[in-house]
């Protein structure tokens, strides 16, 4: 029952300190917003660079195992081209 006696004091102190605390919350929200807007271009740039590096690594992971096949194909092409008879001229 004693809490009912102190209830008006608790309500008044809660309202007063809540109203005093409100500007600090607003300043904190504004600072977070400004910081987020300043950091957004840097975060997007780092993300874009990360995507480019990831695409390059993925491409290398796909193409490097195919390198021996490409070398064999180029060797066959070079041998066929070297052993082909030249065209005879009409003169």
Is residue 33 a part of any domain in this protein? yes
Residue 88: the pLDDT is: 64
Q: Report long-range pairs for 36-42 (Cβ below 8 Å, ≥24 apart).
A: none
Taking the model in full, what pTM does it have? 0.56
| Cα–Cα distance measured from residue 74 to residue 67, given in angstroms and rounded to the nearest whole number | 11
**Residue 24 lies in domain:** 2-83
In a domain, 7, yes or no: yes
Give the model's pLDDT for residue 89. 61
Res 90: pLDDT: 58
Any domain includes 89: no
In a domain, 88, yes or no: no
Whether 17 is in a domain gets the answer yes
The number of distinct structural domains making up the chain is 1
Digit-by-digit pLDDT tens for the chain (91 residues) are 787 888 888 899 999 999 999 999 999 999 999 999 999 999 999 999 999 999 999 999 999 999 999 999 999 999 998 888 766 665 5
In this structure, the number of other CB atoms found within 10 A of the CB of residue 39 comes to: 10
């Amino acid at each position: 029952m004693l809490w009912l006696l102190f209830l008006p004091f608790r309500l008044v102190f809660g309202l007063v300190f809540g109203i005093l605390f409100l500007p600090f919350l607003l300043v904190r929200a504004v600072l977070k917003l400004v910081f987020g807007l300043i950091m957004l271009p840097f975060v997007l740039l780092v993300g874009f660079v990360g995507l480019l590096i990831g695409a390059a690594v993925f491409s290398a992971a796909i193409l490097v195992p195919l390198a021996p096949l490409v070398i064999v194909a180029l060797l066959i092409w070079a041998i066929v081209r070297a052993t082909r008879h030249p065209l005879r001229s009409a003169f």
